[in-house]
């Protein structure tokens, strides 16, 4: 009964409207009702009375771009879905890493490698640190007297890189030698590329950094070079005698890792066949 009552639209002043149809009038017919542009789905910001819509459409810059913008929006949504997928994968990997960190194998490897970075171990390599620092200072002193520009931060990064290579891997990265010589060292250049890219992405969101590094050809190439050199170092370390390795593992990271790997192999070899395949129960 109440829906049959006649009412007046407060926007367009039309009279004789049935109360039950008033909402439809506002949403679909009323010329003064504020509506969006039909290109609102592709981000047109216009809002105005319905009777001004046609005038706006003739000048709307979004509607003619609908084919292109629709494609871009669709691609953006696909990228968002991919990012969410990668985010879930990263969470799973993080969980697996957390579980790995709790494993006895990880703790034993940590027990072997972490002591190498303690104060007493660093002091035992103080001569390496001093020699590298002196080499860098000599390079600075050899610069022309009037030369002002020098990237001290980059120079110190190269110094740390060279010291780390000598202490951890017993490998001269030649990072603070002449620039032309350093560029010839493939491993040094690869490590420098990785450091520079990580430094560039350090302030970016974690998911963006991971996706960027996974998709960056330069990073993948540098990572492959580092992995290849590390494999060579491991092979060379395996060729050393047990006595030599036992002595060097106190100060060399690569020697400690190889010793740890050999312990794993010996432990695995001592396992009974039932433990490898799983015991059978009647």
Instruction: Kindly list the averaged pLDDT for each block of 10 residues, start to end, along the chain of length 282.
Output: 78 84 86 88 88 88 82 83 84 74 62 64 78 84 69 80 79 70 71 82 78 86 88 78 69 67 56 49 44
In whole angstroms, give the CA distance from residue 3 to residue 18.
Answer: 6
Task: Return the pLDDT at 61.
Answer: 86
In whole angstroms, give the CA distance from residue 225 to residue 191.
Answer: 9
Neighbours of 43 (CB within 10 A): 11
Rounded to a whole number, what is the largest CA-CA distance in the chain?
A: 104
Give the tokens for residue 225: 């070079």
Phi, psi of 37 (to 5 degrees): -65, 150
Contacts for 213-222: CB closer than 8 Å, 24+ residues apart: 218/193, 219/193, 219/194, 221/190, 222/189, 222/190, 222/191, 222/193, 222/194, 222/197
Task: Return the pLDDT at 182.
Answer: 46
* Sign of the C-alpha dihedral computed for residues 117, 120, 123 and 128 taken in this order: negative
| Domains of the chain by residue range | 2-65, 103-144+151-265
Task: Return the pLDDT at 187.
Answer: 84
Bridge partners for 155 per DSSP: none
In whole angstroms, give the CA distance from residue 192 to residue 133.
Answer: 19
* Sign of the C-alpha dihedral computed for residues 24, 28, 33 and 39 taken in this order: positive
In whole angstroms, give the CA distance from residue 111 to residue 79.
Answer: 42
CA dihedral 75, 79, 80, 82 (to 10 degrees): 140
In whole angstroms, give the CA distance from residue 84 to residue 191.
Answer: 30
In whole angstroms, give the CA distance from residue 35 to residue 135.
Answer: 73
Helix (H) or strand (E) holding 36: strand 34-36
Phi, psi of 18 (to 5 degrees): -70, 140
Share of the chain residues as helix, strand and coil, in percent rounded to the nearest 5: 70, 5, 25
Give the tokens for residue 163: 């010291």
Helix (H) or strand (E) holding 83: helix 66-101
Task: Return the pLDDT at 68.
Answer: 81
- The residue among 126, 139, 138 whose CA lies nearest residue 251 is 126
* Packed helices 104-113 and 253-270: angle between N→C axes, nearest 10 degrees: 150
Task: Return the pLDDT at 135.
Answer: 85
CATH class assigned to 2-65: alpha beta
- Spatial contact of 29 and 49, defined as CB atoms under 8 Å apart: no
């Amino acid at each position: 009964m109440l829906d049959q009552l006649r009412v007046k639209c407060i926007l367009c002043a039309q009279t004789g409207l049935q109360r039950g149809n008033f909402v439809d009038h506002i949403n679909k017919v009323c010329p003064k009702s504020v509506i969006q542009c039909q290109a609102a789905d592709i981000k047109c910001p216009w809002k105005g009375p319905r009777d001004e819509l046609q005038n706006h459409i003739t000048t709307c810059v979004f509607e003619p771009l609908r084919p292109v913008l629709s494609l871009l929006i669709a691609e953006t949504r696909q990228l968002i879905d991919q990012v969410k997928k990668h985010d879930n994968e990263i969470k799973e990997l993080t969980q697996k890493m957390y579980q790995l960190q709790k494993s006895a194998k990880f703790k034993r490897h940590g027990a072997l490698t972490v002591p190498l970075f303690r104060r007493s171990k660093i002091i035992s390599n103080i001569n390496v640190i001093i020699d590298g620092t002196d080499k860098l200072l000599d390079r600075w002193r050899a610069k022309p007297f009037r030369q002002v520009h020098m990237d001290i931060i980059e120079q110190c990064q190269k110094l740390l890189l060279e010291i780390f290579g000598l202490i951890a891997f017993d490998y001269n990265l030649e990072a603070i030698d002449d620039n032309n010589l350093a560029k010839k060292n493939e491993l040094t250049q690869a490590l420098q590329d990785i450091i520079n890219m990580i430094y560039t992405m350090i302030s970016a969101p974690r998911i963006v950094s991971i996706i960027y590094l996974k998709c960056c050809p330069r990073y993948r190439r540098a990572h492959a070079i580092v992995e290849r050199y590390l494999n060579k170092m491991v092979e060379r370390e395996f060729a050393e005698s047990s006595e030599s390795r036992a002595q060097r593992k106190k100060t060399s990271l690569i020697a400690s890792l190889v010793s740890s790997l050999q312990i794993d192999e010996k432990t695995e070899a001592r396992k009974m066949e039932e433990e490898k395949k799983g015991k059978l129960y009647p």
